[in-house]
Amino acid sequence: MTAVLQARYAPKIHTHPRTSRAFFFDRAAETMPRGALQKLQLRRLRATVKEAYDNVALHRGRMEAAGLRPRDVRSLEDLRRLPFTLKSDLRDHYPFGLFARPRAKLSRLHASSGTTGKPTVVGYTHRDIATWASLMARSFACAGARPGDVVHNAYGYGLFTGGLGAHYGAERLGATVVPMSGGSTERQVLLIHDFGARVLCATPSYALNIAEVAEREGADLRKSQLAIGLFGAEPWSEAMRREIEQRLGLKAVDIYGLSEIMGPGVAVECEAQDGLHGWEDHFLFEVIDPDSGRPVADGQAGELVITTLTKQALPMIRYRTRDITRLTRERCACGRTHARLKRITGRNDDMLIIRGVNVYPSQIEAVLIGLEGIAPHYQLVVERRGSLDELTIEVESADPGAQERVRHHVKSMVGVTAAVRVLKPGEVPRSQGKAVRVRDLRPKAS
Ligand code: DLL
């Protein structure tokens, strides 16, 4: 970040609006010097590996097959000798097979449906829930939320971790939570306004939906108390961030997490908005080459792999997230010492290969949002013609020249040739949670 930007952000970053004191939820943990952090990580890693080995047949079997015992983990580098865990392992041991604690000792279950087969089920002990709440509280504070704020929580409540994860975290911070969930968008607009929400929690696509409904209703949320949006659960682009910031009049902060590891609050941006701090006292982050499985250098893109350090019910050893990101350990302007993940551009399995060109939906999104007169709602339709995959981009516009403009800009900026279907305003389905960006009509492999 340039000195000018640092100067602009510095006074705001950690200053409590009412006390003008630097504000961290857990200053000692968040600013822990690297040496102390690594010591803590190693102690916790050894305990986690032992728990997993002693209590989960899959982990014990995999380690034995690799000729490893828990006591062989003597340094943080030894992490690389441990076998990976995959999403399919959770499915194959459905529902509770990877739990390290008896089901009766758990206080909660969550699940995600996914597109194929059985859901992935995750469990939490009482302590896991408390840890999650404090990591979410830390994440809220890192994003700029403060005790006493009204937090309007539009993440879905239920088996999805977004709603309850944000809810417990906001309460733990000392905020006043409005447990809205998704849907009833007109009502959301009214309550954001009337209850004086300072913080909005939603998926970025739903935040945009809220903005659109507010504009239609003639409610100017830019004049409301809203100051911070905590947006995540799906990939989104820098262009989308600017669009939401402008239309809702808030600072849009990126938050990342996944149910297999915990839920929201695994990593979050600080007010510098320059990468997401991954909470390294609770998780180990690696970025690997998805083909070879070998770690890539800091700054290089690859698949994020996470090991939990404090989870009791569902310890995860080298979980392959399929999410693509880059890791940086450079010092951050905010003073936190924890490594940062760069914006998660998409998932390995969301990547489309169109005539040999790798395309992530977020790349197309960035182009569409930059175009005048094209609404920021879109879907990508993938079909198979002969042996080739074809891409059609569905957008909304009232401009007769939209089709050619979109085709041209996508070709020149993403490098892919796509057909474009222009729909009337309002015709692309709106999201109330995670947006469906891709309609894959290719025949399924049997
Ligand atoms: O989406 C947890 C969450 C809730 C995160 C609310 C943030 C806010 P799952 O439903 O298990 O959990 O989906 C996890 O969503 O592996 C990523 O592919 C994607 N994802 C989550 N956050 C981001 C983000 C929740 N900030 C999967 N940017 C992950 C890009 C994200 N993708």
pLDDT tens series, the chain, 446 aa: 344 433 333 333 444 444 445 689 999 999 999 999 999 999 999 999 999 999 999 999 999 999 999 999 999 999 999 999 999 999 999 999 999 999 999 999 999 876 567 889 999 999 999 999 999 999 999 999 999 999 999 999 999 999 999 999 999 999 999 999 999 999 999 999 999 999 999 999 999 999 999 999 999 999 999 999 999 999 999 999 999 999 999 999 999 999 999 999 999 999 899 999 999 999 999 999 999 999 999 999 999 999 999 999 999 999 999 999 999 999 999 999 999 999 998 888 888 888 888 899 999 999 999 999 999 999 999 999 888 889 999 999 999 999 999 999 999 999 999 999 999 999 999 999 999 999 999 887 65
End-to-end CA distance of the chain: 49
Give the residue from 251, 204, 194 showing the smallest Cα distance to 232. 204
In the block, residue with structure tokens 């939209």: 402
d(CA 213, CA 430): 11
436's CB contacts (< 8 A; 6+ apart) are 379, 429
Give 87 Cα–ligand 1 centroid separation in angstroms: 14
**Following CA atoms 365, 367, 370, 376 in sequence, which dihedral angle do they give, to the nearest 10 degrees?**
-30
**169 CA to middle of ligand 1, Å?**
16
Q: Is 112 in the pocket of ligand 1 (CB under 6 A)?
A: yes
Question: Distance, CA 282 to ligand 1 centroid (Å)?
Answer: 18
* Unique residue bearing structure tokens 């309007």: 152
Q: Which of 115, 256, 342 to mutate to test the pocket of ligand 1 (most atoms within 8 A of CB)?
A: 256
Does the beta carbon of 396 sit less than 6 angstroms from any atom of ligand 1?
no
The count of C-alpha atoms lying within 13 angstroms of the C-alpha of 109, restricted to the half-sphere facing its C-beta, is 15
Helix (H) or strand (E) holding 165: helix 161-173
Cβ of 120 less than 6 Å from ligand 1: no
Ligand 1 centre distance from Cα of residue 371 (Å):
27
Nearest atom, ligand 1, residue 267 CA: 26
Q: How many angstroms separate the CA atoms of 50 and 287, rounded?
A: 24
Q: Which of 283, 412, 316 is nearest to 83 (CA)?
A: 316
